[in-house]
Chain A
Amino acid sequence: GNSVTQMEGPVTLSEEAFLTINCTYTATGYPSLFWYVQYPGEGLQLLLKATKADDKGSNKGFEATYRKETTSFHLEKGSVQVSDSAVYFCALSNQFYFGTGTSLTVIP
């Protein structure tokens, strides 16, 4: 079946640290992959997406590459800011599956 396994949190980093949030998936066919972000008090927002293998999605300094061979879509950012503090969700287009979310707190 379809599922998303996401790195558990919470994650606490100092400003300017490197961020990786792991996401792996199982799916039938060739799904699109997404990262959504939920800032405190706000609704879920699309952060980035990739629609086929080897695609790299990027936005606001975040990147993720669709790796079909490892069924992964890890989220990375080279230098996090306090304003990146939020909950991050990996998602799969088939049957609309979401991961459990990873809470990120960036401290000054």
Chain B
Amino acid sequence: GAGVSQSPRYKVAKRGQDVALRCDPISGHVSLFWYQQALGQGPEFLTYFQNEAQLDKSGLPSDRFFAERPEGSVSTLKIQRTQQEDSAVYLCASSPLRPDPLTEAFFGQGTRLTVV
């Protein structure tokens, strides 16, 4: 399809387990963002890539969270030793433009992570 694709759509993890969430942005998009959205809240910024460079990771809540985009296209958000407070929907967005990276951002449907 032509949109941002995220997988899996749903993930249940046992506390302490590592998880990896995948984002396929729209082909050719320069900018890629990850957000965490808790129930009833707005998206909270986690990190931002411009091509393969991670330009901002100020929103990552702890060193258990790690994101990469090695070839400037697909991105993976990894959470190590998951905790219950990590339960949320993780959103990925991509944008073709710079330097105003939120212009025309296109969002995926998200991955709902539940830590039990």
Contacts and interface: CB of A to CB of B under 8 A. Distances in A.
B42 A99 contact: yes
Contacts of B62: none
Interface stretch (B11-19, B67-75, B76-84, B99-107): B99-107
Contact of A96 (B4, B33, B104, B108): B33
Contacts of A32: 100, 102-103
Nearest to B104: A46
B48 A96 contact: yes
B109 A42 contact: yes
A89 B40 CA distance: 12
Contacts of B103: 32, 49, 93
Contacts of B91: 43-44
Interface in A1-52: 4, 6, 32, 34, 36, 42-46, 49, 51
Contacts, number: 53
Interface residues of A, number: 22
A29 to B, nearest CB: 11
Interface string B16-42: 000000000000000001010000111
Contacts of A43: 3-4, 91, 107-110
A98 interface: yes
B43 interface: yes
Contacts of B105: 46
Interface centre among A32, A36, A43, A93 (most CB of B within 10 A): A43
A34 B103 CA distance: 9
B104 A89 contact: no
Contact of A100 (B41, B45, B107): B41
Interface of A: 4, 6, 32, 34, 36, 42-46, 49, 51, 89, 91, 93, 95-101
Given A96-B35, A97-B45, 11 more contacts: A32-B100, A32-B102, A32-B103, A43-B110, A46-B105, A51-B100, A91-B102, A95-B45, A98-B35, A98-B44, A101-B42
- The list of the 3 closest CB pairs from A to B, nearest first, reads A98-B42, A44-B107, A96-B45
